[in-house]
Amino acid sequence: MSRQRLIIAITGATGAVYGVRLLEHLRGHAQVETHLLISDAGVLNLHQELDLNRKEVEALAGVVHNVRDVGASIASGSFASAGMIVAPCSMKTLASVAHGLSDNLITRAADVVLKERRRLVLMVRETPFNLAHLRNMTAVTEMGGVIFPPLPGFYHRPASMEQMVDQTLGRVLDLFGITHQLTPEWQGMKAGSN
Ligand SMILES: Cc1cc2nc3c(=O)[nH]c(=O)nc-3n(C[C@H](O)[C@H](O)[C@H](O)COP(=O)(O)O)c2cc1C
């Protein structure tokens, strides 16, 4: 079975850990070949939040693309992929996708994924939201994209930040039908809970 290509972008919203753990989980995955893009602001946050530099994160990916290389393979719809995850997704990148700007390879690749009717998941992160943010999320949803803010659930009783992050990422991978062991399937409430 040939591996499906999955485009992953890390942008400058807080939550760089989502992109990094996603790459760690998919590294060596039998089903998936990752194609990575990191924006300049994404590099800043990788350093600020995780003490990681660009090279260390790029080493986790199957294929690495330069954000300025709008002539790259993933800029064309003829390049087959399962879709794209932006983890985390800044409001700036969200706005660019919502308005079809294609002003760098991240937003061009997202534009291509949408036009080819493939799966686009934006792990948008900001708080609180202004009206532009909300309208841009609506626009992307209307185009078929999935707005997936990394908001943790607590009903699994996560014991660590790692478990919180993994639970969210497991749900993201479910959207692509990618197998994982990140979070157990919910088995219902405990007996005697009501
Ligand atoms: C430490 C730090 C945290 C940030 N957190 C957010 C955030 O949570 N959401 C957001 O939309 N922008 C955030 N920003 C601002 C973005 O990095 C900035 O808008 C940048 O231009 C986004 O560019 P990009 O989408 O190309 O990565 C943050 C910036 C810094 C330095």
Per-domain residue ranges of the chain: 4-174
pLDDT tens readout for residues 73-89: 999 999 999 999 999 99
Q: What's the CA-to-centroid distance between 24 and ligand 1, angstroms?
A: 23
Residue with CA nearest ligand 1 atom 12: 13
How is residue 88 written in tokens?
A: 């985390």
Q: What's the rounded Cα separation, in Å, for the pair 8 and 60?
A: 11
Q: Which atom of ligand 1 is nearest to the CA of 104?
A: 26
Instruction: Provide the pLDDT for residue 194.
Output: 65
This prediction's pTM:
0.97
Instruction: For the domain made up of 4-174, give the CATH fold.
Output: Rossmann fold (3.40.50)
pLDDT tens readout for residues 12-37: 999 999 999 999 999 989 999 999 99
Q: What's the CA-to-centroid distance between 10 and ligand 1, angstroms?
A: 11
Q: What's the rounded Cα separation, in Å, for the pair 133 and 111?
A: 18
Which residues does a 6 A CB cutoff place in the pocket of ligand 1?
11-14, 39, 41-42, 44-45, 48, 90-93, 125-126
Q: What's the CA-to-centroid distance between 31 and ligand 1, angstroms?
A: 31
Q: Predicted confidence band at 109 (pLDDT cuts at 50, 70, 90)?
A: very high
Q: What's the rounded Cα separation, in Å, for the pair 104 and 72?
A: 11
Those residues whose C-beta lies under 8 Å from the C-beta of residue 79, and which sit 6 or more positions away, are 5, 73, 112
